[in-house]
Amino acid sequence: MRLDKYLKVSRLIKRRTVAKDVATAERIEVNGRVAKPATMLKVGDEITLRFGNRILRVEVQILSERVSKGTELYRVLEDTKPSS
């Protein structure tokens, strides 16, 4: 599954176009390498997202085109939020 589609389906990012823009801005890494929106994911891949000062690292658990709202497609490895 493509990275931009996975981010939308997993609800890590609300819209696929936003996911594409974030990836194009080189703020997403897959397995330690800068990822493009079309990067193909597989189960076990590690995704690192940078939102401003926040860093979110997740591991891909399930790849599915459609899921119900309660289904978790990823496992959070690290969620670094800026200290206030």
**What would the DSSP string read from start to end of 44-76?**
T-EEEEEETTEEEEEEE----S---TT---EEE
CB atoms within 10 A of CB 53: 9
pLDDT over 90 at 13, yes or no: yes
Chain segment 65-82, per-residue pLDDT in tens: 888 888 889 999 999 987
Domains and CATH numbers, the chain: 3-80 (3.10.290.10)
8 A C-beta contact, residue 56 and residue 79: yes
Per-residue model confidence (pLDDT) at position 32: 94
Angle in degrees, CA 30, 21, 48, rounded to 5: 25
60 - beta bridge partners? 74
